[in-house]
């Protein structure tokens, strides 16, 4: 009988030491014969093996019971599945509803004995069955394949699921066509009924219709505008709002998540400056970006459609002038492609051709030392480099410091003196005098570079001292070049993790770009260090970021009242591990009110707290 599952040619396979077909035994699984399994199962086994899943060990599935019980998926699915469940009551079947992370958000169980079979397999609300944790199964594999999949008994990759058979059907968002979740029927392995897929498909159709009625007017307006734009424009197009990102094939093939974050930032700046066009450097070159704001029928903002047209090829414009590329100097330019940052790099590049002393100033943590070291590498990499810190009490004996700086310069090594604002006026004058006596004409003498923290309150004497250096470079605060955060984060994460496996998801980058960063790059680095710690070292999601970052990263100007309410909610959620039931109780409001506030105060729209799917 046609069971509604796409027919597949059998394949001979034994992935991960896994035997196949209905004859596998625990022993045979370790020394498997090459048997035939359906191709989709074989593929899934290969993925499971590649994830390092041990078939004979019970998987440690991620467990998070604190999901949004009022999510759009649950609201759309519950009445439909209630009806299906009542028609299946007293049958040996259960129905599972999972979100797009393959986490079970609700289950309906027919006959009572099935409870223990499901519980033994952790098939209960809160547990996530993504393939990377659970191996081949009727939830995670459906999400991987984005289509209906049946997994019968021994087709499961892991032993702890082999007493069950299941079929999962993906639930698509009718507006975006993205998969929103999975509806699954699970039964004991021998109770599999080939009618199940058809039964599920019908229910899923009803759920999708209900989802379309629940879609936000903003999402519907954006999808409509994007669909229209697709027909008219041959190049890359993006549709963006805080809930979703839509791309045509040219855009999805060419844009990295970083590019998407850069474009998101560009569109925000365009809106702020009421401009409609900007040039942006992306991974594959420079693009002219035109921005079309989209509104709902009621004239509320719904997002933007961005049209991208290439200006030059990657070879000409790599975001940096060719003369500062890694190959020309042996050093990598500090990351960033904003006009402000490029100006800094260009100045360093110019100054690197000379050997005069240089003063680098800026707010705390803007990367002055990093740039000073880069200047050293660009100008005279063969020389040694010594860094002195005037703020360090152990180096504060200024007389010694001046002597040691002098000696080092005379030896021909370059010197960086950090935080010279800590030096007494007289010592600053001595340092300046040293600078004056290390002339460009003395090729054997090292180069002096000083850095100082300056703010709007910087003392006039320090200003004068700095002005007397032949070259004075000012480093802009990070708030003035937040678009560079997309380029900075991978470099900072590599600095922190020692390797480049970790990366930020787009919502995380969006949250980072919305933050004001009074402590500049040093503070961004601290935030990423904390996030890295909280994550699994792979993908950093907004909920991994420290709450102080999230608190600042609001999207719209809130009133003072709203702002303090927002902070209170974030703090309360953080204090109870993001458990919304507890948070609502502490705050003395109902859960539904809390969800509404989370949404209206812009806490969850970028999944900042990982407290459910944005709606």
Q: Which residues bind ligand ATP (CB under 6 A)?
A: 334-335, 364-370, 418-419, 451, 453, 488, 491-492, 495, 521-522, 525
> Considering the complex, what minimum distance in angstroms separates the CB of residue 569 from ligand ATP?
31
Separation between Cα atoms, residue 515 and residue 496, nearest integer Å: 21
Q: Record the tokens describing residue 456, joined without a space.
A: 């709007």
> Considering the complex, what minimum distance in angstroms separates the CB of residue 176 from ligand ATP?
35
Q: Which is nearer to ligand ATP, 337 or 554 (CB)?
A: 337
Report helix, strand or coil for 112: coil
Using alpha carbons, list the distances in angstroms from residue 378 to 139, 200, 335, 336, 409.
54, 64, 15, 17, 18
Q: Which is nearer to ligand ATP, 10 or 364 (CB)?
A: 364
Check: CB of residue 270 under 8 Å from CB of residue 291. yes
Residue nearest to ligand ATP (CB): 367
Q: Which is nearer to ligand ATP, 132 or 526 (CB)?
A: 526
Of 343, 361, 266, 333, the closest CA to residue 491 belongs to 333
Q: Which is nearer to ligand ATP, 160 or 370 (CB)?
A: 370
Q: Which is nearer to ligand ATP, 189 or 485 (CB)?
A: 485
Q: Which is nearer to ligand ATP, 64 or 526 (CB)?
A: 526
> Considering the complex, what minimum distance in angstroms separates the CB of residue 396 from ligand ATP?
15
- Let me know if 490 is exposed, middle or buried by CB neighbors in 10 A (0-12, 13-18, 19+): middle
Separation between Cα atoms, residue 543 and residue 238, nearest integer Å: 25
> Considering the complex, what minimum distance in angstroms separates the CB of residue 334 from ligand ATP?
3
> Considering the complex, what minimum distance in angstroms separates the CB of residue 83 from ligand ATP?
56
Residue by residue, what is the 3-state secondary structure of 485-539?
Answer: HHHHHHHHHHHHHCCCCCEECHHHHHHHHHCCCCCHHHHHHHHHHHHHHHCCCCE
> Considering the complex, what minimum distance in angstroms separates the CB of residue 131 from ligand ATP?
35
Using alpha carbons, list the distances in angstroms from residue 488 to 2, 266, 372, 408, 474.
54, 16, 17, 32, 19
> Considering the complex, what minimum distance in angstroms separates the CB of residue 261 from ligand ATP?
16
Check: CB of residue 76 under 8 Å from CB of residue 211. yes
> Considering the complex, what minimum distance in angstroms separates the CB of residue 355 from ligand ATP?
22
Strand (E) or helix (H) holding 473: strand 471-475
Q: Record the tokens describing residue 198, joined without a space.
A: 């058809």
Q: Which is nearer to ligand ATP, 130 or 324 (CB)?
A: 324
Q: Which is nearer to ligand ATP, 522 or 574 (CB)?
A: 522
């Amino acid at each position: 009988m046609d069971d509604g599952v796409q027919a597949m040619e059998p394949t001979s396979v034994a992935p991960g030491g896994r035997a196949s077909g209905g004859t596998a035994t625990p022993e045979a699984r370790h020394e498997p014969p090459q048997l035939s399994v359906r191709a989709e199962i074989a593929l899934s086994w290969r993925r499971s093996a590649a994830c390092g899943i041990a078939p004979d060990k019970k998987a440690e599935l991620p467990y998070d019971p604190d999901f949004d019980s009022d999510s759009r998926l649950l609201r759309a699915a519950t009445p439909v599945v209630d009806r299906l469940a009542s028609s299946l009551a007293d049958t040996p079947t259960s129905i599972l509803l999972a979100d797009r992370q393959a986490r079970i958000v609700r289950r309906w169980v027919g006959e009572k004995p099935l409870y223990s079979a499901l519980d033994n397999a952790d098939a209960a609300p809160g547990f996530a069955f993504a393939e990377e944790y659970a191996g081949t199964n009727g939830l995670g594999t459906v999400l991987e394949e984005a289509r209906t999949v049946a997994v019968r008994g021994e087709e499961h990759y892991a032993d702890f699921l082999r007493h069950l058979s299941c079929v999962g059907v993906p639930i698509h968002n009718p507006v975006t066509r993205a998969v929103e979740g999975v509806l699954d029927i699970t039964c004991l392995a021998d109770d599999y009924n080939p009618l199940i897929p058809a039964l599920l498909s019908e229910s899923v159709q009803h759920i999708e219709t209900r989802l379309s009625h629940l879609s936000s007017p903003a999402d519907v307006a954006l999808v409509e505008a994007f669909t229209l734009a697709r027909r008219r424009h041959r190049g890359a197009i993006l549709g963006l709002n805080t809930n979703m990102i839509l791309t045509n094939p040219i855009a999805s093939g060419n844009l990295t998540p970083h590019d998407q974050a850069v474009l998101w930032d560009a569109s925000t700046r365009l809106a702020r400056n009421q401009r409609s066009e900007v040039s942006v450097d992306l991974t594959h070159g420079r693009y002219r970006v035109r921005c079309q704001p989209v509104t709902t029928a009621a004239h509320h903002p719904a997002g933007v459609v961005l049209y991208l047209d290439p200006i030059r090829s990657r070879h000409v414009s790599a975001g940096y002038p060719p003369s500062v590329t890694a190959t020309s100097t042996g050093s990598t330019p500090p990351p960033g492609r904003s006009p402000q940052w490029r100006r800094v790099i260009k100045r360093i590049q110019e100054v690197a051709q000379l050997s005069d002393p240089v003063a680098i100033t800026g707010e705390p943590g803007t990367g002055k030392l990093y740039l000073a070291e880069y200047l050293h590498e660009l100008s005279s990499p063969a020389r040694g480099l010594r860094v002195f810190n005037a703020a360090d009490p152990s180096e504060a004996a200024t007389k010694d410091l001046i002597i040691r700086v002098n000696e080092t310069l005379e030896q021909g090594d370059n010197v960086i003196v950090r935080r010279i604002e800590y030096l007494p006026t007289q010592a600053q004058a001595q340092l300046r005098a040293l600078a004056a006596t290390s002339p460009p004409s003395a090729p054997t003498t090292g180069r002096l570079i000083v850095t100082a923290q300056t703010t709007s309150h910087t003392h006039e004497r320090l200003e004068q001292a700095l002005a007397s250096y032949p070259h004075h470079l000012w480093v802009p605060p990070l708030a003035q070049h937040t678009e560079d955060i997309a380029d900075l984060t991978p470099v900072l994460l590599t600095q922190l993790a020692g390797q480049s496996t970790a990366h930020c998801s787009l919502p995380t980058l969006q949250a980072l770009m919305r933050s004001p960063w009074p402590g500049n790059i040093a503070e961004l680095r601290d935030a990423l260090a904390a996030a890295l710690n909280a994550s699994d070292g792979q993908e950093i999601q907004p909920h991994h970021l420290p709450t102080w970052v999230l608190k600042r990263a609001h999207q719209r100007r809130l009133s003072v009242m709203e702002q303090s309410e927002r902070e209170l909610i974030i703090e309360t959620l953080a204090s109870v591990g993001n458990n919304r039931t507890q948070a609502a109780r502490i705050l003395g409001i109902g859960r539904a009110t809390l969800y509404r506030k989370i949404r209206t105060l812009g806490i969850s729209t970028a999944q900042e707290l990982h407290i459910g799917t944005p709606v």
